[in-house]
Amino acid sequence: MIVKCAIHLILLGWAVSVFWLASQDALGADPVKAIIHFYGIGALNLLVLTLVISPAARKFKLSVLMRQRRLIGLYCFAYACMHIICYWWLELNFSPASFVDELVKRPYIWLGMLGFVILLTLAATSPHKAKLRLGRRWQTVHNFIYLASILVWLHFFLSRKADILEPGLYALTILLLLSFRYRKLQRWYKNRPK
Ligand code: HEM
């Protein structure tokens, strides 16, 4: 309970802090870009954190950590929603025509959209009731988190025109975390529900 409250406080406070910084004129020359970046990187970091939790919980025998995975996953989804809403609102003024134009000019947005559809599916199937209803298929659906991490990384990498270092560090982290799942994915593939 205390851990959950602390997570809510930190992640809600963090999410709101960017608007406070904007009101103080503290986001630099391009505050719109800074806000979109803040939520995009926030969502990516939380996605990576959800991938860190199970190997870390297993290694250090911390079941309390494992119980926080769903909550952090839902915050990842919420930050991704804020990233998209702020982009549509602050950059495109909710204009569908500008959005279509962007899809042509910036193809990496398609990758972000695919990643988002996966996150949306995972959030929608995260309640306990959905888990019971889906049975063994629940794990199949939730294995798509690995594909989402690759799609979102590609979206991030392609949005950065010149910078290699930061996307490179994220790539190494994600590859390492996916390598921990190699056996699990192999086993799942052999016994997958047909
Ligand atoms: C409908 C889905 C999405 C749209 C339309 C979208 C849009 C964008 C745009 C326009 C940018 C470039 C911002 C700029 O530099 O001008 C961007 C960057 C980024 N997006 Fe997304 N995105 C989507 C989904 C996602 C998701 C699901 C995540 C993470 C879970 C994500 C994470 C990022 C990150 C990390 C960046 C790089 C931020 C930066 O370096 O400035 N995006 N996105």
What pLDDT, in 10s, does the model give residues 135-188?
989 999 999 999 999 999 999 999 997 889 999 999 999 999 999 998 888 888
User: What spacing in Å lies between the alpha carbon of 115 and ligand 1's midpoint?
Assistant: 10
For the chain, helix, strand, coil in percent to 5 are 80, 0, 20
Average pLDDT across the chain, whole number: 95
89 pLDDT more than 90: yes
129 pLDDT more than 70: yes
Average pLDDT for residues 21-39, to the nearest whole number? 95
Average pLDDT for residues 73-100, to the nearest whole number? 97
Whole-angstrom distance, CA of residue 152 vs CA of residue 40 = 9
pLDDT bracket for residue 24 (50, 70, 90): very high
Q: Does residue 30 have its Cβ closer than 6 Å to ligand 1?
A: no
Burial of 112 (0-12, 13-18, 19+ CB in 10 A): buried
Of 115, 122, 107, 51, nearest to 83 by C-alpha is 115
pLDDT bracket for residue 113 (50, 70, 90): very high
Average pLDDT for residues 89-103, to the nearest whole number? 97
Q: Does residue 37 have its Cβ closer than 6 Å to ligand 1?
A: yes
- pLDDT, greater one: 185 or 194: 185
Ligand 1 pocket test: pick from 41, 72, 87, 94 the residue with the most ligand atoms within 8 Å of its Cβ.
87
Q: Does residue 151 have its Cβ closer than 6 Å to ligand 1?
A: no
User: What spacing in Å lies between the alpha carbon of 1 and ligand 1's midpoint?
Assistant: 32
193 pLDDT more than 70: no
Of 149, 147, 141, 143, nearest to 184 by C-alpha is 143
pLDDT at 1: 85
pLDDT at 185: 83
Q: Does residue 170 have its Cβ closer than 6 Å to ligand 1?
A: no
Nearest CA to ligand 1 atom 39: 37
Nearest CA to ligand 1 atom 22: 112
Average pLDDT for residues 8-12, to the nearest whole number? 98
Q: Does residue 86 have its Cβ closer than 6 Å to ligand 1?
A: no
Of 39, 121, 46, 106, nearest to 76 by C-alpha is 46
φ, ψ (nearest 5 deg) of residue 136: -70, -25
> What sign results for the dihedral spanned by CA atoms 74, 76, 77, 83?
positive
Which of 51-65, 72-86, 105-119 is predicted with the least confidence, judged by mean pLDDT?
51-65
Average pLDDT for residues 114-129, to the nearest whole number? 97
CA-88 nearest atom, ligand 1: 5
